A and B are shown apart, each in its own frame.
Chain A
Amino acid sequence: MAAHQSWAYTDKVKDHFMNPRNVLRDEDYQEDGRGVVGNIQCGDEMLVVIQVDKEKGVITDCKWKTYGCASAIASTSVLSEMVKGMTLEEAYHITPAQIGEALGQLPEHKYHCSVLGDKALRAAINDYYARHGMEDRIEREEARLVCECMHVTDREIEEAVVEGARTFLDLQERTKISTVCGKCKEEAANLVRAYLAKHFGRSAS
């Protein structure tokens, strides 16, 4: 039964899946910041809480809970280890690619699962800033409307790429972008290429 010895994911993913680190179990955890993203209707939800050394601006502890698949569990587990000792600034700019690297590799269709962890972490850091009168440090992730007819934003395009859109046509199938007047087509195609390069380090085929 050789197949039983292999596994759906890398050894690193398997290890974090079997023995998740830093799961939030303490009901009275003294958090300095809290972030929740996703929702259970979509099939995954992520909670990240952090403790911060206020003098140094360094994350001293990170705990989490998730409702999600093996990739979500493993990526948040590894993320919680990575951020301890990081400055808020550093932690804020962790990318899904870095998480993926720390785990070895995630299957491509599982990539979106790892995005939730760093989103929740940024939400927790923003929450910390808000609680401590540092609103000026919050980086607003505001969306810009690309397709006016179908109301598709650059954020939605980025999400579609992360979730599997590889070409303009993929994007159009998912978002109905550029199906009315068509004037945003070129910009949308350029954004697909840019987000592919950002998340996967390659351009559209």
Chain B
Amino acid sequence: MNPRYVYLDHNATTPLHPEVKQAMQEAMDCFGNPSSLHGFGRAARQMVERAREQVAAFIGALPDEIVFVGSGSEGNNTVLSILGCPVRHCSCEHQGGRAIVTTAIEHPCVQETARCLADRGNQVSFARVDHLGRVDLEHLESLVTEHTGVVSVMMANNELGTIQDVRRAADIAHKHGTLFHTDAVQAVGKIPVNVKDLDVDFLTLSGHKIYGPKGIGALYIRRGVPFCPLIRGGHQEKGRRAGTENTIGIHALGKAVAMRAVEMAEEAVRLRALKAALRQGIEDRIRDVHFNGDPDNSLPGTLNVSFPGAEGESILLYLDLEGIAVSTGSACASGSLEPSHVLMAIGIPIEHAHASIRMSMGRDTTADDIDYVLERLPKVITKIRDMSTAYARK
């Protein structure tokens, strides 16, 4: 049994905030259906609407612009599926173009939804990114046509941490009379996000990335933009998402964003300092390392690094034996034979992609944790490189 655990995979998911956990426990007995008129229902309704206000306030939206969904993936699927719906003649409010413009580094839930729509005859295009993972906005603009229904650009990338200029991307979409969506699952709760400042029409966020529970997310839908539900058959969420509300999850999401509002700014400063120490420590202790992503404009706690000659899944599993949890962009870990599409899109050599790991810190990460990683990681890399065909001992 390992004496020590260091969790550096906060971009994958986060532990519950203790106050969120407590709020959930307290809400367990509030079992009413928010749609019921009686007291049990009204209590549940009150809980849901209070959370809606909290989420709205946190991102600068109005409460009725927030729709609770089952996950970030559901939110993203919803926006692309309804705006890219190939059916032209129905009661849907959306009568604009149906083509989709997105980017090469989106989460699979956006990319695969877009590809599915392409298979159904839609025009779908992917904007390039530069070597730091920043979307090439000129290329993006060149892809937008009169047929475009939505432009979707993620706010912060899960693998690299690179933050996009979402406001400029939204301006480009609006200049061409099309709607704009941002997948802000990795951004909300880590950096300031305000839907009015960003001027976005749709925004997706998720609970479990910000110390809330899994299975709850929210979709911001700007008042007045056309919408059509993906999940039908109920009047819940003002007819925008059918299904009895996940009342405890919603309550927890409200609490989670409320805690983020209190902790986020200070934590970002702390995490940036820890990341700088981690990066410097790796550079000092391990030779031939390559950092991936934008060093100047990335999520406070995300560091992506390649150790040429050391295969990523091996690094992950040797670190796991030391009690350190990270993730990798290597093909081997994913079960497919392709390395991360994000690392390929930024144009790093494929052998760097196979040799990459992502460390993502969070509110519980300490300076001691970083010291421990800096003590163990060099040994792991040396061990792997020592038996590697791809690394000559110098």
**Which residues of A are in contact with B by a Cβ distance under 8 Å?**
1, 4-5, 8, 17-18, 20, 23-25, 36, 40-47, 65-73, 109-110, 112-113, 163
Contact = CB atoms under 8 A, between A and B. Distances in A.
B2 A4 contact: yes
The residue among B332, B350, B351 with the most chain A CB atoms within 10 A of its own CB is B332
B333 A69 contact: yes
Given A43-B337, A67-B311, A73-B387, 11 more contacts: A4-B1, A4-B323, A5-B1, A17-B317, A17-B318, A18-B321, A44-B311, A44-B332, A65-B389, A66-B388, A67-B391
A80 to B, nearest CB: 11
Interface string B95-120: 00000000000000000000000000
A25 B391 CA distance: 12
B40 interface: no
Nearest to B393: A27
Given A5-B1, A67-B309, A45 B317 contact: no
A70 B391 CA distance: 17
26 contacts: A1-B5, A4-B5, A5-B1, A17-B317, A18-B321, A20-B387, A23-B386, A36-B389, A40-B350, A40-B351, A40-B389, A41-B350, A41-B351, A45-B390, A66-B389, A67-B311, A68-B332, A69-B330, A69-B332, A70-B313, A70-B314, A70-B317, A71-B332, A72-B332, A73-B314, A110-B332
B335 interface: yes
Contact of A25 (B1, B311, B386): B386
Nearest to A1: B5
Contacts of A163: 337
B30 interface: no
Size category of the binding interface on chain B: 20 to 34
B354 interface: yes
Contact of B390 (A18, A67, A73): A67
Contacts of B390: 40, 45, 67
A130 B292 CA distance: 44
B268 interface: no
Give the 8 A-B residue pairs with the shortest CB-CB distance, closest first.
A69-B332, A67-B390, A69-B313, A109-B335, A23-B387, A43-B354, A65-B389, A40-B351
